[in-house]
Amino acid sequence: MKKFTILLGIILLTSPAVLYSQKEMNIWYFGNYAGLDFNSGDPIPLLNSSMKTYDNCTTVSDSAGNLLFYSNGVTVWNKYHTPMPNGQGLFGATSSTNGSIAVQQPAKPDIYYIFTNDEFAGPYGLRYSVVDMSLNSGNGDVTSQKNIPILMPDTEKTLAVYHENNTDIWIIAHEWNSNAFHAYLLTENGLSTTPVISTVGSYHTGGTLGTYNSMGQIAATTDGLKIGLAIYDFQQYELFDFNRSTGTLSNPIIIPGYPNAWGVEFSPDGSKLYTTCWKFSPVYQFDISSNNAITIINSVVQIGDATSPDPEYSAGFLQTGPDNKIYIAKYNSEFLASINNPNEPGILCEFYDNSVYLGGRLSLAGLPSFIKSETSLGLKKDFESQNYLKVYPNPACEKIYVQVQTKWNSTINISLVALNGKSQHIHYTGTVKEGESTIELDLESQPSMSFDPGIYILQISLDGKSFMRKISIIGN
């Protein structure tokens, strides 16, 4: 066994600051007039919503975290919580899995496309309506481009993923009575009417009352390279590779045996898939890093129970927040559940049932839908391509370095814990200055600290964002 002393110093370097992720995901409206504000770092209940909606919806804020509008797929409310003049009568549905999702048109800062879905593979299908924020004295309105048909009939699954150029946006839907995904590219010139079609995976058809297999959430990893979905009465989840350049899906993996398959979401690092079943409370984690079907199926861990006061329905849909935690809707509950460290294996992911109080308002089945790249993919690009956060060397023996770049003076917290989470060996709190900083953890022999060689977790909190890195400690 090797023993260490911790000597921490900060080495300040000069380099250009990098951009932080924007705050378009910081305001949420959902459920039974419920809402949350993440602008302070922690989710704070909002009690001013005009919207009741059962399933996933959309909330749009600007880059400073100020509300612009929100919608349940039927009505569009402005920042004053009143319907936009032409914002009623959209052909979505309040009980469609992805009833609405809004994205900003590339190179058009005032223009947003709202994509709406009918419920139960209904006749209205997938459509879009355009919001122009320059209208109505800057409060926005739906233009004459309203309820424009795209795909009919389709399932309740709609997803937005950035193109490989990180500017254009793929709008992904699934045709009903088919195994065809349709991917439509949104550019500064508008929405392409010719989709990229991938015939792959299960044939979406049937179910209870002939249409229940249209239900089930769809989600993408933060890098956009994996897509997951649930098919309700097929009792299964499916995984696909996604090519952000061509818009094609491939390499399906089926995870069977989960009645009322409902919610899906990925960990921020893309290594874990989390799922729920609508009439049951368990929340499951799958390690998908192997990309091997049998290994993924066998990796399942029940990390907790998202309980509900409702006698029939329980764990709802999932959504990653701007704090990189995953939140879970709980039907008719005054609380959301959360997964606080979703990159971590098993119970180390820290599931909490009654995690976020909604101020007396009620969660239903859904949460807001976002194009995650607006925040979490932006962070990933900053970290990896611009060296925003780097931990080295790995494996480590004598020293560990944590290198960060910040736009302003920031508080940083660092902890080094054993993989089982039971033993904390290092805790450090300090301030890093604007620009690039390197924190040195000098591991020297000292009886007060001891480590067995093995895998440890370096937990880093910076400006309210939490990050994890696995690191190997070896002896001399």
The pLDDT averaged over each successive group of 10 residues in the chain (476 residues) is: 35 30 87 97 96 97 95 98 98 95 95 97 97 97 98 97 92 98 98 97 98 98 95 98 96 98 95 97 96 96 96 96 95 98 94 97 97 52 48 79 76 74 64 80 58 74 70 72
Rg (CA), the chain: 23
Q: 15 with 435: CB under 8 angstroms? A: yes
Phi and psi dihedrals of 138, rounded to 5?
A: 85, 5
Q: What is the pLDDT of residue 316?
A: 97
Q: What is the pLDDT of residue 373?
A: 61
Q: What is the pLDDT of residue 295?
A: 96
Tally Cβ neighbours within 10 Å of residue 437: 22
**pTM beyond 0.95:** no
Spatial CB neighbours of 171, under 8 Å, sequence gap ≥ 6: 103, 113, 115, 150, 158, 159, 160, 183, 184, 185, 186, 191
Q: What is the pLDDT of residue 447?
A: 44
Q: What is the pLDDT of residue 277?
A: 98
Beta bridge partners of 433: none
- Both tokens of 2, joined, read 């090797």
Q: 435 with 406: CB under 8 angstroms? A: yes
- Both tokens of 56, joined, read 């996933």
Q: 247 with 220: CB under 8 angstroms? A: no
Q: What is the pLDDT of residue 405?
A: 76
Q: What is the pLDDT of residue 372?
A: 81
Q: 146 with 90: CB under 8 angstroms? A: yes
User: Do you know the residue count of the chain?
Assistant: 476
